[in-house]
A and B are shown apart, each in its own frame.
Chain A
Amino acid sequence: MFRLIAKVVLCVAFLGAADSLDAGVSGWHEPLFGSAGQRIYIKARADDSEGIRKISIIIVAGKMVDCDEVRPWAQEVGVPCRMGASRFIHECEYVDYVPPSTEVACEYSEDFSFSYGGKSLISYRIEATTRSGDVLSDEEITFSQGEAPSQSIARPLWWYRLAPLRSRVDIGFFPDLDYGDNDSAYGNFTADLNSILAGVLFVSAPFAYPFHASRITFNYWAASFGADAEECQRDFASHLDPIISQMDGRVILHQNLFRDCASISLAGYGSVYAKASDASWILAHESGHFLYGQGDEYACDGSHRTVGSCKNIFSSASDCVAYAINWNLRAGECEEMVCNDIPVAWRLGRGNSVMRDRDLLAEWHSANRKCVQDRINTCESGVCYVRSVP
């Protein structure tokens, strides 16, 4: 009896601490970017107050192709299509005596590239059936394994394929010329990319807030060679144009050290030093510039500009206070930024900020958080970024 009680108490405590991911049902795959010949793990977890009876991983896998093969005229759209696909379901069933609310796990693994000539596109959706028969479901996620059909097509690492591209923030990652241009160099790039994305997608550190606040708002892609960055100079080979056209954020990962640079824009360009131990933080900071139009909040040698109506930097105290009052933020958090005793600008927010402090505990607060949330809200309305008027 004691053993049973201990089991229940200890397990609930253990599981509660082990996973702080969303309650309900969720799925993910490892690694995010899969090379040909590698075993890919599709993982699912679920919990429910009634307990979970079954998890189903619904998988569609096929050959990743140029969309021109599916529909004439659809070449150069920058993203892949799929041919020869098949659908199957992997199911896991659980014992009845697992305590309700216990998280249960299910996993399927395969080298998908083997069946599709080294170029595969895989989608999966997780469904969990509770003991009363209710079905909980997660959004379908698509990823690729192996080579792209052409250099002009991006490989998805995490793609909500059923949703219109315009309703998601698409971030494309490009290997810098400094990686080299052979298979081994690409492997080095994708290893860095896997690590950087895992650092914003699967950890709940405050600096990763935008990527967590609404995980379904973001798609992540890997491009082929052809990009070259050196500080603010960015060059892209013409074969990358179709990929660039589909992305809202274009990030060049580099392995040689130079100062990172990003456009201050609502959708734009940036670079990330991929070998830094805090490269995930760098991505978060640079995305503040190129996705949300925010400026630096460090006083000396910072870029104190913003773009668009959402601001985190102000030229005067009165501007800052007026903005705070207008948007129901705390005007008392307006703070003067001073460099070598010379006032340079005003920021809105107290404490460590992602746009100021290179610190894994730095936060998106007040004005920063508003800009991120505004963008997520815009995406939820159907179109993430302003582009055209019919």
Chain B
Amino acid sequence: MKTRIVGILSVLCLMVSCVSLECADRDPIRQRTSPRVEVDPHEDNEPVLDNFVRGLIVEIEVFDSTILRHFERVGLVSKITKHSGSSDMIKFEAFRKGVGIFSSFGSDEEINALEGFGIVKKKSRTIIAYLPVPRPFDELFVRFPGVEDKKSLKVGEAFFQFCKQHPGDMWCQPGEVLEF
């Protein structure tokens, strides 16, 4: 009996030592850290900055599908490629002097799932649209999901204010700038 216990203990000890020894083999035998080399900041940040282009940021306060207030400014927005829309989203259409130049879809947070309660419709909400428009425009149409009528927002003032501050910008040159 005693011999058997000693034998079992020996095997267990061997297993423990084997495992720990082998795990040591997983660890490196040599480690070194190279000297630090300076990185060009433009090259380093290019992948990040490449995400953005100039556009119009539109903030809309909404009750149900009524627009209460809106505020616009020119800024950097995400560069966005080709997409298709969905009937559950808000549609934005930009017009310059009556000609459509851009359209976009935005997500609406109107329909909510409240756990243990059910659907909650948020009538009052703020929607922010980031529009990577190709050039200045003066009218933005907003269409809410399931609503036939589209709302018109006059947004030219944002470009006018921008050009007052940046007269040399390409969006503020003759032929491009919006006149009032």
- Chain A interfacial positions (CB closer than 8 Å to B): 3, 6-8, 10-11, 14-15, 55, 60, 62, 67, 70-71, 73-77, 79-95, 97-98, 102-106, 108, 161-166, 231-232, 234, 241, 244-246, 259-269, 289, 293, 295-296, 301-305, 307-309, 382-383, 385-390
- Are A71 and B45 touching (Cβ within 8 A)? yes
Nearest Cβ in chain A — how far from B150, in angstroms?
15
Nearest Cβ in chain B — how far from A346, in angstroms?
17
- Are B82 and A389 touching (Cβ within 8 A)? yes
- Are A82 and B45 touching (Cβ within 8 A)? yes
Give the 3 A-B CB pairs with smallest separation, nearest first: A388-B104, A303-B113, A92-B28
Identify the stretch in B1-9, B50-58, B61-69, B153-161 within 8 Å (CB) of chain A at 4 or more residues: B50-58
- Are A83 and B41 touching (Cβ within 8 A)? yes
- Are A166 and B81 touching (Cβ within 8 A)? yes
- What is the bound-complex CA distance between A80 and B47, given in angstroms? 12
Q: A81 contacts which chain B residues (CB < 8 A)?
A: 45, 48-49
- Are B37 and A88 touching (Cβ within 8 A)? yes
- Are A383 and B118 touching (Cβ within 8 A)? no
- Are B37 and A386 touching (Cβ within 8 A)? no
Known: A15-B26, A87-B37, A385-B107. A305 touches B115 (CB 8 A): no
Q: Which of B23-50 contact A (CB under 8 A)?
A: 23, 25-39, 41-42, 44-45, 47-50
Nearest Cβ in chain A — how far from B78, in angstroms?
6
Q: A162 contacts which chain B residues (CB < 8 A)?
A: 47
- Are A104 and B28 touching (Cβ within 8 A)? yes
Q: B27 contacts which chain A residues (CB < 8 A)?
A: 104-105
Q: A165 contacts which chain B residues (CB < 8 A)?
A: 51, 78
- Are A261 and B120 touching (Cβ within 8 A)? yes
- Chain B interfacial positions (CB closer than 8 Å to A): 14-15, 18-19, 21-23, 25-39, 41-42, 44-45, 47-52, 54, 57, 59, 75-86, 88-89, 102-120, 122, 128, 130-132
- Are A244 and B128 touching (Cβ within 8 A)? yes
- Are A246 and B114 touching (Cβ within 8 A)? no
Please give me the residue from chain A that is nearest to B42 by CB atom. A70
- Are B49 and A67 touching (Cβ within 8 A)? yes
Nearest Cβ in chain B — how far from A179, in angstroms?
21
Name the contact of A387 in the complex, choosing from B25, B48, B88, B106 (C-beta under 8 A).
B106
Q: A95 contacts which chain B residues (CB < 8 A)?
A: 25, 29
- What is the bound-complex CA distance between A389 and B86, given in angstroms? 11
Nearest Cβ in chain B — how far from A82, in angstroms?
6
What are 5 of the A-B contact pairs (CB < 8 Å)? A14-B19, A102-B26, A245-B77, A296-B115, A390-B81
- Are B18 and A7 touching (Cβ within 8 A)? yes
- Are B54 and A73 touching (Cβ within 8 A)? yes
Known: A11-B18, A245-B128. A386 touches B114 (CB 8 A): no
* Known pairs A79-B48, A98-B25 / 20 extra A-B pairs, C-beta < 8 Å: A11-B23, A71-B45, A73-B54, A85-B44, A88-B35, A92-B28, A93-B28, A102-B25, A164-B79, A165-B51, A166-B51, A166-B78, A266-B107, A301-B116, A302-B113, A303-B118, A308-B86, A382-B81, A386-B85, A387-B78
- What is the bound-complex CA distance between A10 and B25, given in angstroms? 13
- Are B33 and A7 touching (Cβ within 8 A)? no
Nearest Cβ in chain B — how far from A18, in angstroms?
9
- Are A7 and B78 touching (Cβ within 8 A)? no
Name the contact of A389 in the complex, choosing from B38, B78, B85 (C-beta under 8 A).
B85
Q: B112 contacts which chain A residues (CB < 8 A)?
A: 232, 261-264, 303
- What is the bound-complex CA distance between A80 and B31, given in angstroms? 32
- Are B21 and A7 touching (Cβ within 8 A)? yes
- What is the bound-complex CA distance between A87 and B40, given in angstroms? 10
- Are A71 and B31 touching (Cβ within 8 A)? no
- Are B26 and A103 touching (Cβ within 8 A)? yes
- Are B82 and A390 touching (Cβ within 8 A)? yes
Name the contact of B113 in the complex, choosing from A84, A244, A289 (C-beta under 8 A).
A289
Name the contact of A10 in the complex, choosing from B19, B54, B116 (C-beta under 8 A).
B19
- Are B39 and A6 touching (Cβ within 8 A)? no
Please give me the residue from chain A that is nearest to B92 by CB atom. A388
- Are A245 and B84 touching (Cβ within 8 A)? no
